[in-house]
Chains A and B, each alone.
Chain A
C-alpha cells in the first residue's frame, strides 16, 4: 500500500444560487488517493466532479473541510505554487489552454514559470513531446493540429513541469473517437512508464472501466467508491442517478432478470471484459441446452 498522496477531509464547497439559498457543489467528501494510482471520477453534469478538480490544486478554496496534497494544505496562499507544481491539470477545451503560437514554446511555458534553467527546459520540452508522441510537431502552430493532437500538446505542457499527479478534467469530452483513443492511450503510457498518479474525470464509462478505482459522485456527494468491477455491478444505483454502465455489464444485468439465469448463479456482478462476458455467455448457453 502506497502512502496517501491526496487527502480530502469533510470537503464541502458551496455557492449561493439565484434564490439566495446555499447550494452544495460538493458535500462532506472524504477521500484518500494513493500515490501512483489511477482513479476515475464519474458523475453526470452538476455532480460536482469538475468542482472537485478545481479544489484539488487550489483554483477553488474549500468552504469547509480540507484538501491536502502531498502534505500541503490548499488554503494558505504560500502553498499554492508548490501544489500546482505537483498537480498538473488538463482541461476540456484544448484550444483554451494553449498559450503560444508555436508548439514547443507552449510546452516550455510551464517550466519557464518555474524558473528552470534554459538548457534544462529544452531537455524537458523534448522529453515531454516525445512522451506524447508529438516530437515532429514542435515547430508547428497549434491551430494546424487536430483536437487530439492539441490535447496531447496540452498534456506535454503539463508533463514538462514534472508533476507527481495529473488531473484530466473531461479532457476527452470535446474530441472525436479517434482523438479520445489517442488521449486514453497517452494516459496509460504515462501512468505505466512514469508512475504518475492519474485522476480522470469523465462521463464515459469505458474510460472509467480501465482505472484502478472508480469514484461516483451525485449532487456533490459520494455514491460509490471501489474497483471498476465493484462499482459497475451496482447497475441499478448507477441507472438511478442517470449514468450508463458499460455494455457488457448492462447485458449481464439484463440477463440476470431472467429467473432461470439468476438461479444458475453463473452471472455475478461486475464483469467488464468482453472476452470474459463471451465465456460466460457460452457457459450459459451450454447450460441451457
Chain B
C-alpha cells in the first residue's frame, strides 16, 4: 500500500524544459505562480491556458501522466468551482433553481477558478518536479538562497537535510512495509475498527520505525564525518550549474508573460468582456 507514494516524481528527458538551469526554472515557477494570480479576465485566462498548454508541449511529457498528477486536486478544484457557481452575485440571473440563483458571473467565476487551480498545479509540477531532478532542485535552492548566509541562515545545512530526506524516503518506505508485515505476523490488526482504533494500531509500527530512523541517522552522521564532511565551508561541487542564453531568454519570456497577462485584464475590461 505504501508503494504508491511518489515524492518529487522526476521523468528524465532531453526536452528544452529538462535542459534549463534549475535555478532559472525555480524563479520561472515563482513568476508563473504570481502570473496565475494576476489573471482576472477572460482574455488573460485564455492566455494562461495557452501558456500552460505550451509548457506541456515543450516538456514532451505525456498528457496522461500530467492528468494523473491532477488527481489529488480534483476534489478541491470541483469544490471551489461549485462554491463560485452559487456564491458569486451578479445583476441579471441566468436561472433560478429554488433558493439558488445562478448568475452568469458565477459561471464565469467557476470556470476561471478551475483554470486557475489546474494551471497552477500543472505549471509548477512541470517546471519543478517532472523535469528537474530532486538533486538539481536542492542544489538550485541552496545557490539561490546563498545570500541569506550573510545573515547567518544555515542555507547549506538546509539543502543537505533536503538531500538526505529525499535519499531516505524510499528506504524508510520499504522499512515501514517490513515492520507492518512483521506486526501483522504477530497478530496486529490494521484493517478493522474505527478511526481511533486504527490510529492506535499504528503505534507499534511507528515506534520501531523511529528507533531505526534514529539509528540510521547516527550511522550516517559517522559515515559522513569519515568522508571528511565539515559543513558547507570549503566544499566544491562536481556539477556546477551553468546559465546559458536560452536560460535568460526563458526567464525574460516568463516575466514578459506575467506582465502581458496583467495588461490583458485591462484590455478585457475595455472590450466589455468578463
Contacts and interface: CB of A to CB of B under 8 A. Distances in A.
A89 B135 contact: no
13 contacts: A84-B227, A84-B228, A88-B226, A89-B226, A96-B216, A99-B167, A102-B135, A105-B238, A108-B238, A109-B229, A118-B239, A125-B238, A161-B227
Contacts of B194: none
B92 interface: no
B216 A95 contact: yes
Interface string B215-253: 110011011111111100011111110000000000000
A139 to B, nearest CB: 8
B134 interface: yes
Given A95-B216, A111-B238, A118-B237, A100 B167 contact: yes
Interface string A93-115: 10111111110110011111111
- Overall SS of chain B's interface: helix
Interface residues of A, number: 41
A99 B220 contact: yes
A125 B237 CA distance: 12
Interface of B: 12, 133-135, 163-164, 166-167, 170-171, 174, 215-216, 219-220, 222-230, 234-240
Contact of B236 (A81, A102, A112): A112
Nearest to A106: B167
Contacts of A99: 163-164, 167, 220, 223-224
Nearest to B133: A102
Contact of A113 (B12, B170, B216, B228): B228
Interface in A63-120: 81, 84-85, 88-89, 91, 93, 95-102, 104-105, 108-118
Given A96-B219, A142-B167, A105 B135 contact: yes
A255 interface: no
Interface of A: 54, 57, 59, 81, 84-85, 88-89, 91, 93, 95-102, 104-105, 108-118, 121-122, 125, 139, 141-143, 157-158, 161
A114 B228 contact: yes
A157 B228 CA distance: 11
A121 to B, nearest CB: 4
B226 A101 contact: no
Given A108-B238, A111-B236, A143-B171, 20 more contacts: A59-B225, A84-B225, A89-B223, A96-B216, A98-B167, A99-B167, A99-B220, A100-B167, A101-B166, A102-B135, A104-B238, A108-B237, A109-B227, A112-B235, A113-B228, A118-B236, A118-B238, A122-B238, A141-B170, A143-B174
Nearest to A121: B238
A185 B239 CA distance: 31
